[in-house]
Amino acid sequence: MNKLILIVIVSFFSTLAYAQDKPEMADVMRSNGKIYDVVAVCLTILIGLFIYVFIIDRKISKIEKNK
């Protein structure tokens, strides 16, 4: 029993030491593919913005031609 507790404690410390060796990055997010959701959301916003600006651009061009 004591050995078991010791092992648990030692492994706990070793994970702590491991965590401090290497900076923590969002590796889980990358491995389960959720990062693609983030990319998709940002791309949707970007494309939406560009379509909006493009429509304004076309409207101004139309007014410029009519004057």
Residues that bind other proteins (CB under 8 A): 22-26, 35, 38-39, 42-43, 46-47, 50, 53-54, 56-57, 60-61, 63-64, 67
Report the first-to-last Cα separation within the chain, whole angstroms. 90
Name the residue among 35, 57, 54 with its Cα closest to residue 46. 54
Closer to other proteins by Cβ: residue 9 or 40: 40
Closer to other proteins by Cβ: residue 4 or 23: 23
Closer to other proteins by Cβ: residue 6 or 42: 42
Q: Could you tell me what percentage of the chain is helix, strand and coil, using 3-state DSSP and rounding each to the nearest 5?
A: 85, 0, 15
